[in-house]
Chains A and B, each alone.
Chain A
Amino acid sequence: MIETPVTSGLEPPQLDLTVPKGIRSRSRTAVRATLGTLLLVTAVGLLTLAPGQLGPALLSLAHNLKLMFLQPHLGQDTLAQLLGALGLSIALAAYTTIIGAVVAFACALLTARNLAPAWLATTMRTLMALIRAIPTILWVLVYAVVIGLGTEAAVVGLSFHSVAYLTKAYAEAIEAIPTAKLDALRTSGARPLLIIRHAVWPSVRGSLLSWTFIRFEINFTNAVAVGAAAGTGGIGYYLFMASAFYFDFQEVGAIVYLVLAFALVLEFVAVQLRRRTA
């Protein structure tokens, strides 16, 4: 999920490696303690797993993977059907990202500590953290009950999570604006809208764009997953039917290749975008 390429301690960790900082003992202790704890947890986790008949399972997996990747086949659906479904998933991802971005920008203005009053910022932050903590698929399932199974449920569910995710990302971008810049406008008597238009928007445009694109990738993955797990249509639904109902792994392979093709296009665009904005 969802939210794959990823979902939040939302933001990819900042890498700051340019200046070797000598002995950073606190950081080093933290690294050791974290790794130690995680390894311990992993050991316990692996012990509880105890796979049963590993041999035959691995053989059947190898066989199915071979069917998937080396002999993809359209199965009982036509290419046009699958492409249409892929288009639907892409449309779902695009729609929810755009709606999410617009709403999130408004919310981010109320969430950023350097623009909103403290009580409002804290309230918004908590609310968004709550929404984010509920997995997208649960939102979609809940809305499927309330407004009926279909695209509407998927749109509302995905938009919800997008808003919460993007609000956090946008608010952090806004908080990174130098205080001097905002103060300069404030002391000159500029109204909030003017400040947003001429100080906030130009400074955050770039990072807003890249966060929105990241969210688009996540929403595409989510759109596929939601189609499979909640039956809301799109390529995910075909994926689910092909594997869980017809056990046709050749068709699963074909669908995976279709999704992969689009995902790789997205990745290429992302690289270009990063190069352009950097």
Chain B
Amino acid sequence: MAELTRYFSHQRRVRLLVFGTLLALLLLAQVALQLNVIEAATGVFAGWGWLVANFAPIASAFPALGEISWQLAATVLIAIAATMVAAGVALLLALAGARTTSHWPLAQALIRPFASIMRNIPFVAWALVLLFSFKQTPFTGFLALLLMSVGYLTRAFMETLDEVGHGVIEALEATGAGYWAIICQGVLPAAAAPLVSWLLYMIENNIRDATLVGMLTGTGVGFLFDLYFKSFRYPAAGLVVCAIILVTIAIELSATKLRQVLNA
């Protein structure tokens, strides 16, 4: 009985500690941000009202529809292309870096931290540096998305390849198969479904992020939104938002469906 009491009082102390820490963090952040909570809280609802009142894509916005769909399609196309190229690079890096498939200890030691660093460099920095060299062209957005994705995909692919395990490789080695035969006939087919799942996940992400990258690099549908928004053409901006919602949800739904089939 005494033990039970001690257990519960220990639990209570842990709980208090966790909530205390969280509350302290919240207060600390509150002080750092000098946030006007009331203004923020009332703003939430005001924002919705404003959105509905101003962003409703009324008839005057419809002439912009052609331009919007064209830019949106271009943005989606570029996001997919960037992800696919990144996936190609990442697959090679992952093959060289994964414990199961790599013959080069040096590559194993270097690729993991490299991927980690690439993944964590803020993509704002990529976008702005690329903008300086490649100017305001779709190619800038393409490269920014590409560089953002390489680190993330390399890491994901590497973990996937590690999970394939040595079984497949040993079985094929026993038959006398060469390195590339083992990779192409054994490892990749075994890992295909999860690799493609990751690819789909990254494409979804990149289509979302493409709006922001577009805003920073002055390209695609992000730039179009920025343009309409800053020139107070709110209904047209609202139309852009609606178009983005439609495409994002369509992509999310089809990716989810595909993933279900892949993992079946």
Q: Which residues of chain A come closer than 8 Å to B135, judged between CB atoms?
A: 52, 57
On whether the beta carbons of A225 and B229 are closer than 8 Å, the reply is no
On whether the beta carbons of A239 and B128 are closer than 8 Å, the reply is yes
Main DSSP-derived SS at the A contact region: helix
On whether the beta carbons of A243 and B205 are closer than 8 Å, the reply is no
Beta-carbon nearest neighbor of A58 in chain B? B133
Within 8 A of A (CB), among B174-227: 189-194, 196-201, 203-205, 208-209, 211-212, 215-216, 225
Q: Which residues of chain A come closer than 8 Å to B164, judged between CB atoms?
A: 17
Query: Which one of A107-115, A129-137, A177-185, A188-196 is at the interface?
Result: A129-137
The answer for the CA separation of A44 and B116 in the assembled complex, in Å, is 31
Per-residue B-contact encoding for A16-31, CB less than 8 Å = 1, 0 else: 1110100010111011
On whether the beta carbons of A61 and B134 are closer than 8 Å, the reply is yes
Our pick among A1, A155, A236 for the contact of B209 (Cβ within 8 Å) is A1
Q: Which residues of chain A come closer than 8 Å to B25, judged between CB atoms?
A: 94, 98
Our pick among A4, A26, A51, A134 for the contact of B152 (Cβ within 8 Å) is A4
Given contacts A64-B132, A240-B124, contact A49 B51 (CB under 8 A): no
The answer for the CA separation of A12 and B131 in the assembled complex, in Å, is 31
On whether the beta carbons of A13 and B78 are closer than 8 Å, the reply is no
Chain A nearest Cβ from B7, distance in angstroms: 14
Total contacts A-B at CB 8 Å: 273
Q: Which residues of chain B come closer than 8 Å to A46, judged between CB atoms?
A: 81, 85
The answer for the CA separation of A39 and B36 in the assembled complex, in Å, is 50
On whether the beta carbons of A145 and B208 are closer than 8 Å, the reply is no
Kindly state whether residue A42 has any CB partner on chain B within 8 Å. yes
On whether the beta carbons of B205 and A42 are closer than 8 Å, the reply is no
| B46, B47, B125 — most chain A CB neighbours (10 Å) | B125
Given contacts A3-B208, A4-B152, A51-B139, contact A42 B85 (CB under 8 A): yes
Q: Which residues of chain A come closer than 8 Å to B40, judged between CB atoms?
A: 147, 152, 155-156
On whether the beta carbons of A61 and B77 are closer than 8 Å, the reply is no
Within 8 A of B (CB), among A45-72: 45-46, 48-52, 57-58, 60-61, 64-65, 68
Kindly state whether residue A151 has any CB partner on chain B within 8 Å. yes
Kindly state whether residue A74 has any CB partner on chain B within 8 Å. no
| B152, B160, B205 — most chain A CB neighbours (10 Å) | B205
On whether the beta carbons of A130 and B245 are closer than 8 Å, the reply is yes
Main DSSP-derived SS at the B contact region: helix
Chain A contributes a number of interface residues (CB within 8 A of B) equal to: 93
On whether the beta carbons of A260 and B215 are closer than 8 Å, the reply is no
On whether the beta carbons of A4 and B78 are closer than 8 Å, the reply is no
Q: Which residues of chain A come closer than 8 Å to B199, judged between CB atoms?
A: 38
Kindly state whether residue B68 has any CB partner on chain A within 8 Å. no
On whether the beta carbons of B194 and A15 are closer than 8 Å, the reply is yes
Chain A nearest Cβ from B108, distance in angstroms: 17
The answer for the CA separation of A3 and B148 in the assembled complex, in Å, is 12
On whether the beta carbons of B244 and A134 are closer than 8 Å, the reply is yes
On whether the beta carbons of B249 and A9 are closer than 8 Å, the reply is no
Per-residue A-contact encoding for B104-138, CB less than 8 Å = 1, 0 else: 00000000000011011111110011111111011
Given contacts A30-B261, A256-B125, contact A267 B116 (CB under 8 A): yes
On whether the beta carbons of A1 and B120 are closer than 8 Å, the reply is no
Q: Which residues of chain A come closer than 8 Å to B51, judged between CB atoms?
A: 142
Given contacts A15-B160, A57-B134, A259-B120, contact A49 B26 (CB under 8 A): no
Given contacts A135-B212, A252-B125, A256-B122, contact A92 B29 (CB under 8 A): yes
Can you list 11 A-B contacts with CB-CB less than 8 angstroms, sorted by A residue number?
A: A2-B209, A5-B152, A13-B259, A34-B258, A45-B80, A52-B135, A129-B249, A134-B245, A146-B43, A243-B128, A252-B128
In the complex, besides A60-B132, A143-B43, 16 extra interface pairs with C-beta distance below 8 angstroms are A3-B209, A7-B205, A9-B201, A13-B200, A18-B163, A45-B78, A61-B134, A94-B29, A98-B26, A130-B245, A133-B249, A134-B245, A145-B50, A155-B35, A225-B123, A249-B129
